[in-house]
Structure 1
Amino acid sequence: MQNSKETSCPCRELDATQRSYAQCCQAFHDGRGNLMTLPDTAEELMRSRYSAFVLGLRRYLLDTWHETSRPNDLELDSQMRWLGLEIHATRAGGATATRGVVEFEAHYSIGQNRGSQREVSSFVRENGAWFYVDAL
């Protein structure tokens, strides 16, 4: 998927206010090493990771995966098309928290088949940066 400054960010829910990719996840994707461009909350990190899946940003996904559970490599399915994201619940994970949980559902298609992945993900914040840990 191509994304430009005018394109709606992939992480936004269909019924939510649409922000452009440039106003939303692009800064996270472009500047992981700069503390000014890190997600403030576990939900923001989860949304930026969803957008990274949509855009095929394998390096960002690995960089935001906690070292205790991160795989050595990550193969993305080129046939999978991500269609939308729903956040069902968040627990903790705010701007001052060190742990958080986000329950979400990501919708996708592979060829003519459609499906969704529902997950309850845990996150941890270390040295100002949020990381995905695992699915509960």
Structure 2
Amino acid sequence: MVADTNSTVQIEHNITLRPVIGLTETLPKGDLEQITIEAIRTHRRLRDLAEARYEEWRKSRAVAACDTAGPTRIAYVIAMIDMLAQQTALSTLLDVLGHIPSVPALTPVRRSIGRSFARFSSSEPDLSRDRHPER
């Protein structure tokens, strides 16, 4: 723990998922990299969904009932929880792998064929933001 200038305590720790470590630490690096790349794509898809849910919530009309936040805000909160949980799993995978792998983009043809084909047959350049959700 560290105290800042205002004497508030901030906890410093890296959250890791020990079960993920146990499941992956003995895998061959190639297999672990493949799993990590898929986790990166999943995280990006969940991030994009959370951003969309946020925009829907911000554009929606205020809810008059004081016993609920409203369906669009609830959808946003759920999307954020899903994204943050995936982010924790991804962070753990990256720690076990030891580097950030190159994430090949998916071409439109392969996206229409499916995720399993794209996982095993890509040699495209790394893109920092894969904005195309897999179908």
Same topology, TM > 0.5: no
* Structure index of larger Rg: 2
TM tier relative to shorter chain: under 0.3
Structure (1 or 2) with the greater strand fraction? 1
TM-score, normalised to structure 1, is 0.25
TM-score, normalised to structure 2, is 0.26
